Chain A
């Protein structure tokens, strides 16, 4: 499992960088190479998978359709403080007392936890300017 995740993580970064070059992005790629975004909502395929995992996990029910928080905290704010490791641990184990689901048994979320991180980091960085993203066409 761990190997699979880190491999997809590497692919995501590499592919994101590749796509950015190819697309000749008219805005600088945001963040630290985690994701590529153009015009605020067109994202690389890996980040798109992160968005799909966000939807499949029904994360919006607690964190809000725009990640700004509802009964759960704002992820725009949380992703500025959480380390990647803390993020992965929280998604995997949950924070049951606070109402955070353990997604350990959710294949789509666990397979895409790095992509999910990239997507949410992009939202938190302000580089991805709206919650609903589209896949960047080459």
Chain B
């Protein structure tokens, strides 16, 4: 028995394609003005780059706190506020408060606190985070934890429409930011640890009507895959995926509870009319229960924004055995790749490989380790596109109830959702990374709707011989090489910001906002009230450039920070690491905004 939702939405998708929509001109206008921070990544390419240069490498050491704001919420603060004109829009973790602040007065113009069933709190894997708002045409969009997608009138805070995007009773909740591309607000779903079947869904920004919905697994029509025109990388070339490309890779009907959730940052190329995103881990974490490649979990997707139809798809980690979700952001950049100018898509995967693909057709161009400690695979075979797994680190080959030790990276990935930045000036990517390894012991689990469906016990610690658990790196995506690497004591779990002022910003788990130059030299730092897992953003108001970031420790880093504490089963000396984080920080959400002193 196959779920039939895909059949229902397909005709809608075709209808939408007929009416050509050009409604993203407002967003385009807003992001073209560097005084705004109008999207979570600053732009539709996910570049996290600002053309502002008032704050630059020569004066950044004179940055001072301009103003601060408490969200009144504990727990992990991911994402960042948006700035459009004189207004700033802030979000918080559960209960997902929204604040509209007038930058002329620093006063709250309106605020909103959703009423949500507390039953969703325990269902949120890895803390009750929310990654922020979207803005278009005077409307503000909030993706609540309980899966309700809400559109507000940005001026008044009046609710214009709201829709239910998932079923929280089975663990389908939301942490991702919604993204507006054209006349659609696009959102995903979380719940890979609850056996949720992933999808992305596009809603009309004016009405909230569902335009299309594409699943990550299952029958072709429900994924909006056309077996003859949707392509993937096989045998060294781009080829049609063929019929039943997902169904063929699952035992029985396990794809129905097979994960492939979609909680990352999406990007959009207007010229190609394609949106890009990644899918997460297959459920459960016990690989023995789900033989096969488990397509299309752990994959990069390119979908037509109007119809949802899949142009191409590429699976990074077939048959995941380590929880290496593929949801990390897809950064679009036009860069030389092996000497040839390329419309590239660059992706730093949890699995430790930095991928460069041709975003027009999904051709695999570069796949190299962006942390030398990565050991679970020797390399990615460029012909098949498959990582070459090292048996010793294969939790499937070692089997259930066996503790596979010393796998690098840990399930946190060499990078998790914390987004990287790209500077068109230097043509380099600036990547916040985790430098953490793990022991992973899978075990058999049974699926019960609405109950955890994990099936592995993990412990995490720094790579043997190392004391630091993070690096902030510069990466050349054209060659797949680390240009420089700056050690951090803890995982760098904060989104980076590159600027035309030749300064790159990122936050640390201890709570420092740091500025480095294009060579990675630290120029300035400031200790904010709590650990930083938010993304750095910048804007200009009344002629002055501001740099801001949420602090508020939490997220998987905040939870995971104590994992491995007092490990009593081995002698790897892992006790240091995250344990010390308690000496630096405590919970508490606030925004700190900086500017140059007068």
Could you tell me if A130 and B122 are in contact, using CB atoms closer than 8 angstroms?
no
Partner of A61, one of B125, B445, B569: B125
The answer on a CB contact under 8 Å between B122 and A129 is: no
Which of B118, B452, B457 interacts with A65 by CB under 8 Å? B457
A101 to B568, CA, bound (A): 27
CB-CB under 8 A from A96, the residues of chain B are 118-119, 121-122
B459 within 8 Å of A (CB atoms): yes
Selected interface stretch from B219-227, B230-238, B291-299, B556-564: B556-564
B79-120 near A? 1/0 per residue, CB < 8 Å: 000000000000000000000000000000000000000110
Chain A, residue nearest B117 (CB): A96
A17 within 8 A of B: no
Is A99 a contact partner of B451 (Cβ separation < 8 A)? Answer: no
Q: Which residue of B has the minimal Cβ distance to A108? A: B446
| Contact partners of A22 in chain B: CB under 8 A | none
A residues in contact with B454, CB < 8 Å: 58, 61
Given contacts A61-B452, A96-B118, A106-B451, A68 and B565 within 8 Å (CB-CB): yes
- Indicate whether A69 sits within 8 Å of B562 (C-beta atoms), given known contacts A58-B193, A99-B128: yes
> Is A24 an interface residue, CB under 8 A from the partner?
no
Inter-chain CA distance A71–B124, complex, in Å, is: 12
Instruction: Find the A residue at minimum CB distance from B126.
Output: A61
In Å, the complex CA distance between A55 and B567 comes to: 17
- Which chain A residues border B558 with CB–CB below 8 Å? 71
- Chain B: number of interface residues, binned into ranges: 35 or more
Known: A64-B562, A65-B457, A96-B119. A107 touches B448 (CB 8 A): yes
B201 at the binding interface (Cβ < 8 Å) = no
Given A103-B451, A106-B448, A107-B448, is A55 in contact with B443 using a C-beta cutoff of 8 Å?
yes
Q: In the bound complex, do residue A94 and residue B568 qualify as a contact, i.e. CB atoms below 8 Å apart?
A: no
Is A65 a contact partner of B128 (Cβ separation < 8 A)?
Answer: no
The B502-559 residues at the A interface (CB cut-off 8 A) are 554, 558-559
Contact partners of B458 in chain A: CB under 8 A = 65
A98-138 residues at the B interface, CB under 8 angstroms: 98-103, 105-109, 129-132
Q: Is A66 in the interface zone, CB < 8 Å from B?
A: yes
Residue A26 interfacial (CB < 8 Å):
no
Q: Does A97 contact B (CB under 8 A)?
A: yes
CB closest chain-B residue, reference A100: B122
Residue in B123, B441, B449, B457 with the greatest tally of chain A CB atoms within 10 Å: B457
Does A56 sit at the interface, judged by CB under 8 A?
A: yes
In the complex, A100→B454 CA distance in Å? 16
Provide the residues of chain B in CB contact with A66, threshold 8 Å. Answer: 565-568
A68 touches B451 (CB 8 A): no
Chain B residue nearest to A107 (CB atoms) is B448
B387 at interface, CB cutoff 8 A: no
Contacts of A57 in B (CB 8 A): 451-452
**Interface 0/1 of B425-462, CB less than 8 Å to A:** 00000000000000001010110111110100111000
Q: How far is the CA of A132 from the CA of B128 in the complex (A)?
A: 28
Q: Which residues of A contact B457 (CB under 8 A)?
A: 55, 60, 65, 132
Inter-chain CB contacts under 8 Å: number: 80
CB-based nearest A residue for B451: A106
Which chain A residue shows the least CB distance to B118?
Answer: A96
CA distance A92 to B269 in the complex (A): 49
In the complex, the answer to whether A56 meets B563 with C-beta atoms within 8 Å is no
Q: Counting CB contacts under 8 A, is A70 at the interface?
A: yes
Residue in chain B with minimal CB distance to A59: B452
When C-beta atoms are compared, the residue in chain B nearest to A56 turns out to be: B445
**Which of A62, A64, A98 neighbours the largest number of chain B CB atoms within 10 Å of its CB?**
A64
B127 proximal to A (CB < 8 A): yes
A101-B452 contact in complex given A55-B457, A58-B193, A71-B127, C-beta closer than 8 Å: yes
What residues of B have a CB within 8 angstroms of the CB of A58 in the complex? 193, 452, 454
Evaluate contact between B563 and A64: CB separation under 8 angstroms. yes
Closest-by-CB residue of A relative to B128 is A99
Given A65-B563, A66-B565, A71-B558: A56 and B446 interface contact (C-beta under 8 Å): yes
- Say whether B448 contacts A131, CB under 8 Å: no
Which A48-89 residues have a C-beta within 8 angstroms of B? 52, 55-58, 60-62, 64-66, 68-71
Most chain B CB neighbours (cut-off 10 Å) among A55, A57, A62, A71: A71
* Other-chain residue from A70, A101, A107, A108 in contact with B562 (beta carbon distance below 8 A): A70
Query: Residues of A at under 8 Å CB distance from B?
Result: 52, 55-58, 60-62, 64-66, 68-71, 94, 96-103, 105-109, 129-132
- Beyond the given A61-B193, A66-B568, please list 5 additional residue pairs across the A-B interface where CB-CB is below 8 A: A55-B457, A71-B127, A101-B451, A132-B457, A132-B569
Interface residues of B (CB under 8 A from A): 118-119, 121-125, 127-128, 193, 441, 443, 445-446, 448-452, 454, 457-459, 554, 558-560, 562-569
- A sample of 10 cross-chain residue pairs with beta-carbon separation below 8 angstroms, ordered by A number, consists of A52-B443, A55-B457, A60-B457, A61-B125, A62-B559, A64-B565, A65-B459, A66-B567, A70-B562, A131-B568
The 9 A-B residue pairs whose C-beta atoms are closest, nearest first, are A58-B452, A96-B118, A58-B454, A101-B122, A106-B451, A71-B559, A130-B568, A99-B121, A97-B118
